[in-house]
Chain A
Amino acid sequence: MTSDAASAPAKKSFSMVWRAVALLAVVGLVVALGFGLSASNASRPTSGPAPDFTIPLYAGYDGGLGKPQVRLADLRGQVVFVNFWASWCVPCRDEQPVLEKLWRQYRNQGVVFLGVDYVDTEPAALQYLKDFDVTYPNGPDLGTKISPKYHITGVPESFLVDRQGNVAWVKISPVVEAELAAEFDKVLAK
């Protein structure tokens, strides 16, 4: 009789522990599921503050900035054109001559270009930059930390950031020369 009396509270506490573990697991799974869903539903910024990042620049591709790396926030006061690209991306090759042409046209008007090389290999990327005679700042998305901030779904994708650091324009396909030039003029006129 005394053993029964002793085992009852023990059984009760054991059951409580199981229930707590089960509840914790269910809550954990729900939180993880919710986190995953919210992350997958997040979309690329089309307005408001542009997500800040620091990008290391490929040797010889600092675009005259004179730095081994550049932080977007440090370019506040200038118009920044952020372009995500990769050497394996065929549409990127289509837009590359346009980008280089517009960089040379607008670089002295307060526009900075930043090429963000997405999941690329360095030898192929450097060959690409050489092939297209690219002269504006370019670097790798090291650790794939920049592209998730902009929620890109592929390359090329481009973001125009105004002097106040806000996203002013987004393009999720190769840019068209006249269209991008018009956007530069619009943002520079503000």
Chain B
Amino acid sequence: MKISSLKLPIPRGAVVLLMVVLASLLIVGAVAAQGGKVVTDDQVNAVAKQLNCPVCENVPLDVCETQACAQWRDLIRQKLAAGDKPEQIIAYFRATYGDRVLQSPPREGFTTLVWILPVVGLIAGVAILAVVLRRMVPQTAPAKVETVQPSASTDEYRERLERELKELEK
């Protein structure tokens, strides 16, 4: 039996229209099953890159290939689809798994030291360098300009000179 030989009781255009409607319903159904929102990989990765892989050392979640990370990204996708904001999702992961999952340590409590110590270290390094360099440069005092103060004897000579010059002028 040839398909081309089949004669449908309804027009071909109606069949095509019916298929389009069915496909649309399937897409709508899939979107509804995700919580009514389509979530792209970029949206998932935008959140994931703020988190660490739970089982690797310093590997961002968005590029990690482990099964654990794949599950975490799935969870991010589900939460985004459910309408959660990225900040809420990050807060959820932090509460559930601890601060270690954050790519950037929070600037609060003991971890504040992580942010402060490098700055203090840098300042201390500059201070030490300054002190060392200062000691390496030879301490030469600036040359003093000797100025001769008029003494009592020079005053006498000046008076005598002026007196004799006046006498000569006479």
Give the B-binding residues of A (Cβ under 8 A). Answer: 15, 18-19, 21-22, 24-26, 28-29, 32, 86-88, 90, 119-121, 123-124, 140, 142-145, 154
A143–B78 alpha-carbon span in the complex (Å):
21
Residue of A with least CB distance to B113:
A32
Q: A90, A121, A142, A144 — which one has the most chain B CB atoms within 10 A of its CB? A: A121
- Residues on the A chain within 8 Å of B72, using CB: 121
Q: A86, A88, A142 — which one has the most chain B CB atoms within 10 A of its CB? A: A88
Residue of A with least CB distance to B123:
A21
- Residues on the A chain within 8 Å of B71, using CB: 87-88, 120-121, 124
Q: B24-67: which residues lie under 8 A (CB-CB) from chain A?
A: 54-55, 66-67
When the two chains form their complex, are residues A25 and B123 in contact, meaning their CB atoms are under 8 A apart? Answer: yes
When the two chains form their complex, are residues B113 and A119 in contact, meaning their CB atoms are under 8 A apart? Answer: no
Give the A-binding residues of B (Cβ under 8 A). Answer: 54-55, 66-68, 70-72, 74-75, 78, 95-98, 100-101, 113, 117, 120-121, 123-124, 127-128, 130-131
When the two chains form their complex, are residues B121 and A119 in contact, meaning their CB atoms are under 8 A apart? Answer: no
Chain A min CB distance to B56 (Å): 11
Q: Given A21-B123, A26-B124, does the pair A143, B98 have CB atoms closer than 8 Å?
A: yes
Chain B min CB distance to A17 (Å): 9
Residue of A with least CB distance to B72:
A121
When the two chains form their complex, are residues B95 and A143 in contact, meaning their CB atoms are under 8 A apart? Answer: yes
- Residues on the A chain within 8 Å of B131, using CB: 15, 18-19, 22
Residue of B with least CB distance to A21:
B124
Residue of B with least CB distance to A90:
B67
- Residues on the B chain within 8 Å of A143, using CB: 95-98
Chain B min CB distance to A99 (Å): 20
**Cβ-defined partner of A25 (8 Å) among B95, B97, B120, B130:** B120
**Cβ-defined partner of A22 (8 Å) among B55, B100, B113, B124:** B124
When the two chains form their complex, are residues A88 and B98 in contact, meaning their CB atoms are under 8 A apart? Answer: no
When the two chains form their complex, are residues A145 and B74 in contact, meaning their CB atoms are under 8 A apart? Answer: no
Residue of B with least CB distance to A17:
B127
* Beyond A21-B127, A121-B72, A154-B55, 12 extra complex contacts between A and B, CB < 8 Å: A18-B127, A18-B130, A19-B131, A24-B120, A24-B124, A28-B120, A32-B113, A120-B68, A120-B71, A143-B95, A143-B97, A144-B97
